[in-house]
Amino acid sequence: MLRTPADGTRLRILAWLGEPDTAERGLTADDVAARLGVPRPTALTHLRLLTSLGLLHPTGQDDTPRYRRDEIRLAEVTQLFEKGW
């Protein structure tokens, strides 16, 4: 996450998940793939990385989880960057 790709894909996913309607329902890997115009495995790679960093939480069925932001963890990471980490 700290080495965000030049195109900002992960930041775009986090921003999209912060939109009110999207935040409430969450996103599947298929949603992300369609929105970004990338293959599903690419979307899953980004979602899994964000999940492993604790920034997203998958919920629902294991085969098609819906991802939501962890607002507490995002606030912690934001604080680190604001302090100049």
Q: SS3 letters for the chain?
A: CCCCCCCCHHHHHHHHHCCHHHHHHCECHHHHHHHHCCCHHHHHHHHHHHHHCCCEEEECCCCCCEEEECHHHHHHHHHHHHCCC
Chain mean pLDDT for the chain: 87
pLDDT surpassing 70 at residue 5: no
pLDDT surpassing 60 at residue 1: no
Integer Cα distance of 12 and 18 in angstroms: 10
Give residues with Cβ within 8 angstroms of 2, minimum separation 6.
Answer: none
pTM value?
A: 0.83
